[in-house]
């Protein structure tokens, strides 16, 4: 039976090299991947209480909300992707990697303290090829959709009841210093995951799942970079969907955030006391044009019980939706309410199960594990090729 790689080589007039296949997440040297990649300079306050200039304790409000047993967050969203290099393929005088990926996005719902279940879930398999694989120079979307249809008719996939949902072209121009085609392919698969997250948020808003007493907590940043393609490429046109959505970043680069005098506020963040938050600040970034964010930092864990001073601190983001919010910042009471509810999500922990435990919120951890439990095994997936 013809397998995926031989079909792609024949269909796109390329030459495959039967290179070593591996999972990027399993073989590359571990490194810190930050949710935020854009330098931020604080120009304006991001909240209505303009007199707040130092950190603020949230513990009393958190305890009150806990006693009332009316948590704000009912839904928890996470996206995950696992990527692989499955071969090298030659077009003309250049070799390009063929990147494959498993993508999963899930939203879990908690109606009651003892009830945590899937609300939305989707998974897909994707391939990333260089743009020059379009040998006929047709419309990129039409060409790669045609290749996918033919690919999924292979007996080797049909017999396993498996299909590839996306064939994603990545830029094939000559590389600059430090660039890798592998990273371009992985970025396309990551963008597909982000598109799915946006689609979930839109669906939840359309079905009235979100309201002022039923928020969605999303793992990671809300700074969705404007994309060149896709149904949800521009966050500016979708920001009304994010009225009841909060982003919580486990991994952030503290050196990227600077005050109005262009000085780092990393020490201010590291010195946060337990259950304190920083003042919120407002910023816009060229990465997400037309959208303003209110951002603040919140400490969930005692620094004496963690490895480094930034363990146990989350970066919290909220899209500013209304004209009033864009002018005056997010209501300070709303920031306190969000912060207090996040504090109440800090337990139980995934200590010893995940080395990011100090920055993990357990409902997000469960959602992430649910996604990963549905992946095909690396061995099985790589053998498809």
pLDDT tens-digit series, residues 198-222: 999 999 999 999 999 999 999 999 9
Burial level of 352, CB count in 10 A (0-12/13-18/19+)?
A: exposed
Q: How many residues does the chain have?
A: 385
Are 167 and 229 members of one domain?
Answer: no
- Assign 249 a pLDDT band (cuts: 50, 70, 90): very high
> What's the rounded mean pLDDT across residues 93-115?
95
> What is the C-alpha to C-alpha distance for residues 196 and 106, in angstroms, rounded to an integer?
9
- Assign 113 a pLDDT band (cuts: 50, 70, 90): confident
- Assign 223 a pLDDT band (cuts: 50, 70, 90): confident
Q: What is the pLDDT of residue 326?
A: 92
Lowest mean pLDDT among 26-40, 66-80, 86-100, 315-329: 26-40
- Assign 29 a pLDDT band (cuts: 50, 70, 90): very low
358 domain-assigned: no
- Assign 31 a pLDDT band (cuts: 50, 70, 90): very low
Contact between 298 and 366 under an 8 Å Cβ cutoff? The reply is: no
207 domain-assigned: no
204 domain-assigned: no
Q: How many domains does the chain have?
A: 2
Q: What is the pLDDT of residue 289?
A: 75
CA distances in angstroms from 369 to 218, 315, 379, listed in the order given = 15, 22, 19
288-324 in b/e form (b: 16+ CB < 10 A) is beebbbbbbbbbbbebeebeebbbbbbbbbbbbbeee
More reliable by pLDDT, 258 or 383: 383
Q: What is the pLDDT of residue 235?
A: 59
Over 70: is that where the pLDDT of 276 sits? yes
Are 268 and 329 members of one domain?
Answer: yes
309 domain-assigned: yes
Q: What is the pLDDT of residue 237?
A: 61
Mean pLDDT in the chain?
A: 89
Lowest mean pLDDT among 93-102, 197-206, 207-216, 350-359: 350-359
Structural domain that includes position 284: 34-72+213-346
Are 58 and 20 members of one domain?
Answer: no
- The gap from C-alpha 117 to its chain's centroid, in whole angstroms, comes to 21
Are 153 and 7 members of one domain?
Answer: yes
202 domain-assigned: no
Are 52 and 85 members of one domain?
Answer: no
363 domain-assigned: no
365 domain-assigned: no
199 domain-assigned: no
Q: What is the pLDDT of residue 77?
A: 98
Are 51 and 15 members of one domain?
Answer: no
Are 112 and 12 members of one domain?
Answer: yes
Are 282 and 185 members of one domain?
Answer: no
Are 131 and 217 members of one domain?
Answer: no
Are 117 and 152 members of one domain?
Answer: yes
Are 152 and 8 members of one domain?
Answer: yes
> What is the C-alpha to C-alpha distance for residues 79 and 75, in angstroms, rounded to an integer?
14
Are 57 and 99 members of one domain?
Answer: no
Q: Which of 263, 272, 275, 245 is nearest to 336 (CA)?
A: 275
More reliable by pLDDT, 149 or 138: 149
- Assign 30 a pLDDT band (cuts: 50, 70, 90): very low
More reliable by pLDDT, 318 or 284: 318
């Amino acid at each position: 039976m013809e397998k995926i790689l031989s079909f792609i080589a024949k269909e796109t007039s390329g030459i495959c090299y039967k290179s070593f296949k591996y999972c990027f997440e399993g073989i590359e040297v571990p490194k810190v991947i930050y949710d935020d990649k854009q330098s931020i300079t604080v120009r304006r306050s991001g909240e209505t209480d303009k007199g707040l200039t130092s950190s603020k304790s949230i513990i009393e409000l958190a305890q009150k909300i806990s006693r009332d047993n009316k948590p704000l967050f009912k839904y928890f969203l996470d996206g995950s992707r696992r990527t692989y290099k499955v071969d090298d393929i030659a077009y003309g005088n250049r070799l390009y990697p063929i990147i494959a990926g498993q993508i999963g996005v899930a939203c879990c719902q908690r109606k009651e303290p003892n009830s945590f279940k899937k609300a939305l879930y989707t998974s897909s398999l994707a391939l990333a090829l260089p743009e020059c694989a379009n040998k006929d120079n047709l419309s990129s979307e039409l060409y790669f959709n045609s290749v996918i249809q033919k690919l999924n008719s292979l007996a080797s996939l049909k017999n396993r009841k498996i299909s590839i949902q996306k064939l994603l072209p990545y830029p094939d121009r000559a590389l600059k210093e430090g660039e890798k085609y592998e990273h371009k392919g992985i970025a396309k698969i990551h963008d597909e995951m982000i598109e799915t997250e946006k689609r979930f948020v839109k669906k939840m808003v359309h079905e009235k799942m979100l309201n002022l007493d039923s928020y969605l907590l999303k793992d990671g940043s809300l700074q969705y970079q404007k994309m060149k393609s896709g149904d949800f490429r521009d966050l500016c046109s979708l920001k009304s969907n994010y009225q009841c959505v909060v982003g919580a970043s486990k991994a952030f680069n503290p050196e990227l955030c600077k005050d109005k005098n262009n000085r780092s506020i990393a020490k201010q963040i590291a010195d946060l006391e337990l259950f304190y938050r920083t003042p919120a600040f407002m910023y816009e970034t060229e990465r997400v044009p037309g959208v303003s964010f209110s951002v603040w930092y919140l400490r969930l864990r005692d620094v004496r019980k963690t490895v480094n001073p930034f363990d146990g601190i989350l970066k919290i983001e909220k899209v500013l939706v209304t004209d009033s919010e864009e002018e005056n910042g997010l209501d300070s009471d709303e920031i306190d309410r969000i912060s207090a509810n996040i504090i109440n999500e800090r337990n139980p922990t995934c200590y010893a199960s995940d080395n990011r435990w100090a920055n993990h919120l357990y409902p997000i951890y469960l959602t992430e594990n649910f996604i990963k439990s549905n992946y095909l095994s690396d061995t099985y997936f790589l053998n498809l090729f």
